[in-house]
Amino acid sequence: MKKIIVTGALGQIGSELITKLRSEYGVDNVLATDIRHPNTGAAARGPFEILDVTDAKKMHTLANDFGADTMMHMAALLSAKAEENPMLAWNLNMGGLMNALEVSRELNLQFFTPSSIGAFGPSTPKKGTPQDTLQRPTTMYGVNKVAGELLCDYYFNKYGLDTRGVRFPGLISNVAKPGGGTTDYAVDIYYKALEEGKYTSYIAEGTYMDMMYMPDALQAIVDLLEADPAKLVHRNAFNVTAMSFEPSEIAASIKKQIPDFEIAYEVDPIRQAIADSWPDAIDPSTAIKEWGFKAAYNLDKMTIDMLEKLKIKLNK
């Protein structure tokens, strides 16, 4: 049975990943860590420790004392927030990752960290974006992600560290609220649909981006963790996706359930520029071939589930 330490456990992915991991491996076998205490939620219902990921010594102590055999490094500043404070993004995203990799090397831990479609740039092929392709991102977040992919490959090739990771598209969750990502409009739109019956999108109509419903993302993490290493030609940064849509298409899906829903547009130049630099649709065939990646949700199935879950959450 795995014993897993998770950084960034209160973040967009981490907050739900904790629940998934504890259901798979047992509550006491997953140590959640974050820079702040949890008030409620899954992280509070099991082992938890305060950890600033820039503190390598404490990270090592926590992982060692817990008897961890797996490190899942989820702590990061997301795309829009990273553009607002590039120096903080570099120090947190890259410094934290280096610390996590070094602790994993020293303790011989299996290692997972997510990359992102933000690792691509405007010169990357926009449609059917391959697993191995040109990556010249124009954002600090993207630079961090490319450097992180290369670092994970380096630690595997130089030290034999069992590093694994995926390139996530936009992740849509009925649990975690938007956290400063460019794709977060695809979360906020469901809240506004139920609360106000309308939504003003900061992303322009016609802007396609890859997306995935959080249950599929969490299952992909577990599937890759459990994958036979002998079958992994790639180790890190596997393209994964479930759907690609633009704002009017998600609005149309919502209108099937809420006929009076309306969408308008007030484009945010910063987030729009980030979105324009990313692919329209990536190719996940390498992940499918090497470890059997699959997604269960399409847009309409996700919309039905999102609205059902949020009605309960919002008492609508």
Which residues are catalytic, by number?
A: 141
Q: How many CB atoms lie within 10 A of CB 259?
A: 7
Residue-by-residue DSSP string for 31-68: EEEESS--SSSGGGSS-EEE--TT-HHHHHHHHHHHT-
DSSP summary character for residue 27: G
User: 70 has which bridge partners?
Assistant: 4, 110
User: 239 has which bridge partners?
Assistant: 167
Residue recorded with tokens 């990273």: 82
Nearest to 140 by CA among 202, 94, 75, 186: 94
Pairing verdict, β 243-245 and 209-213: antiparallel
d(CA 39, CA 234): 39
